[in-house]
Structure 1
Amino acid sequence: MSFHEVRLPARLAFGSTGGVERRTEIVTLASGFERRNSPWAMGRRRYLIGANLRSLADMAALTAFFEARRGRLYGFRFRDFADFASCAPGGTPAAGDQVLGTGDGTRAVFPLVKAYGDPGSGPGEGLQRPITKPVEGSVRLAVNGIAVSGAGFSVDATTGVVTLARAPGKGTVVSAGFLFDTPVRFDADRLEMTLESFDAGRMAAVPLIEVRV
């Protein structure tokens, strides 16, 4: 997939709106009961940015970023300020935040994930979201609650895959804490701006959509 490993500057995202969308197919039977199904295993995030920009300098910066991505052609990193860490909002990521898996004595590779809901509360409840764009240098790792030094593992910041120098023993729990970006692309091939004075203007909201990488 065409993707640029660059992050949209945070100042250009202030005042953004967005959230998660799902796709659910519902069939109502003659009895009144419903059959519900979703073709999507994961939700997809959408955002609107740029509507609060007034500085011509900031609008020029967003235009330059848009042009460098060739509009919708290339994806990029986006900091979703409502969901960008392994911990609760306002907290500091710790090595025990998210369980990545259980060692079997031979497996040394563990993809980063973030859990939503309560996986143990019942069938179909809880979800693990793959984290494919961790912030470089932010990942903290632990095996059975004991922190692993930086020399004991490596992280591919472009895929979110963690590789330990030694495979964890059978039954040991591998966990991690981290910061991450959401991979997105522009969902329009056009920017619209209005000049309101010599040094100020107004920009129409620019849509972003999450991409699978």
Structure 2
Amino acid sequence: MAFHEIRFPANLSFGSVGGPERRTEIVTLANGFEERNTPWAHSRRRYDAGVGLRSLDDVAVLIAFFEARAGQLHGFRWKDWSDFRSCAPSATPGPEDQLVGIGDGETAVFRLQKTYVSGLQSYVRPILKPVAGTVAVALAGDPKVEGVEFDVDVETGEISFAVPPDLGVRITAGFEFDVPVRFDTDAIQTSVASFQAGDVPTVPVVEIRL
């Protein structure tokens, strides 16, 4: 299998249903208490690409994209319209949105990440597929120039500095990003009659680990 660095048509993913999924194992003890554990360090997202289809032309685009990916065989990029920025959905990404590391004077490569905070708890999500041209980086609040002071690998989510950041320097970044996914079915069933009647096909899409 391979990963194709192409985004599922954003106009078709707009309006899709989906979000993060967790895997929790629960054992109820004899005294009624529970033991809860999870084998997953990170959540996994699922979507339905069929919801965004609005015309037969959209169906044709979907089928072409599905065939080019050979069904479930190859991964691709997906824009999650409810969570695709380092900041709030209504804001514009800035270079101080997310903390991605602390300089040690030696390390020059850091991975983009997004932190979700609720109360005293937080979750750090690795960002593997930033969108080209959207990544802004700052060292201790000082914005840096892409292509001169740092580079971005949009296939891995890594940022590389020309000079390793000094010891204790906060490395922050703002960006837009896609989710690496694949189709979760090897068959798409469509009907002109049913589609015209408002019955759209179900096209499951699932996030993949890279």
Range into which the TM-score falls when normalised by the shorter chain: over 0.9
Please say if 1:153 is aligned against 2:153: no
Matches for 1:88-167 after TM superposition, within 5 Å? 88-118=88-118, 121=120, 125-150=121-146, 151-167=148-164
Return the TM-score normalized by structure 2: 0.94
> How far 1:52 moved relative to its partner?
4.5
Deviation per CA, 1:62-89, whole angstroms, max 9, x where unpaired? 1000000000000000000000000011
**Stretches of structure 1 lacking an aligned partner (at least 5 in a row):** none
- Identity across the alignment (%): 54
Equivalent residues of 2:17, 2:51 under 8 A apart? no
Aligned mates of 2:92, 2:171 — CA distance in 1: 19
Equivalent residues of 1:115, 1:128 under 8 A apart? yes
> How far 1:47 moved relative to its partner?
0.3
Q: Which residue is 1:196 aligned to?
A: 193
Q: Which residue is 2:66 aligned to?
A: 66
Q: Which residue is 1:81 aligned to?
A: 81
| Cα 1:54–1:89 shift into 2, 3 Å | closer
**Stretches of structure 2 lacking an aligned partner (at least 5 in a row):** none
Equivalent residues of 1:134, 1:158 under 8 A apart? yes
Aligned mates of 1:126, 1:154 — CA distance in 2: 28
SS for the counterpart of 2:191 is strand
Return the TM-score normalized by structure 1: 0.93
> How far 1:14 moved relative to its partner?
2.8
Q: Which residue is 1:182 aligned to?
A: 179
Deviation per CA, 1:181-209, whole angstroms, max 9, x where unpaired? 00000000111111139x99853120000
Q: How many residues align?
A: 209
> How far 1:172 moved relative to its partner?
0.6
Equivalent residues of 1:55, 1:200 under 8 A apart? no
| Cα 1:52–1:101 shift into 2, 3 Å | closer
Deviation per CA, 1:130-177, whole angstroms, max 9, x where unpaired? 000000111000000110112100011000000011111111100000
Aligned mates of 1:12, 1:149 — CA distance in 2: 34
Q: Which residue is 2:19 aligned to?
A: 19
> How far 1:32 moved relative to its partner?
2.1
| Cα 1:32–1:60 shift into 2, 3 Å | same
